[in-house]
Amino acid sequence: MTLRDFQRLIRDTFGGKDSRRGIDGTFMWFMEEVGELAAALRGREDPEITAAEFADVLAWLATLANAAGVDLEEAVRSKYAAGCPGCGQVPCVCGAGQKP
């Protein structure tokens, strides 16, 4: 499954609910899932639970992208296909204090 396929699956499955919730409500759900992932990573949860939290975060990110009209696959390709967006290298050679 490609990222585009996944984003489409999320839209087809939850799009009606998502559009009624809007971007602000969806963002709050996304942040809740990020918090659950953080807790799983900090607590060294069961690997299956941690993997499920990663999946939830990705699903809510796709939901937000759908609400905002962003094609995640194209956004990722545009920003990262050539390597690090800062230095343009793979692997990144940016200094330790630089982002990314």
Judge whether 81 lies within some domain.
Answer: no
Residue 94 in any domain: the answer is no
Residue 13 lies in a domain: yes
Which of 8, 1, 2, 5 is CA-nearest to residue 63?
Answer: 8
Residue 21 lies in a domain: yes
Phi, psi at 76, each rounded to 5°: -65, -45
- The pTM (predicted TM-score) of the whole model is 0.90
- Residue 38 maps to which CATH number? 1.10.287.1080
Q: What are the tens digits of pLDDT across the range 22-44?
A: 999 999 999 999 999 999 999 87
Convert the pLDDT of each residue in 80-89 to its tens digit. Answer: 999 999 999 9
Residue numbers of the domain that contains 52: 3-69
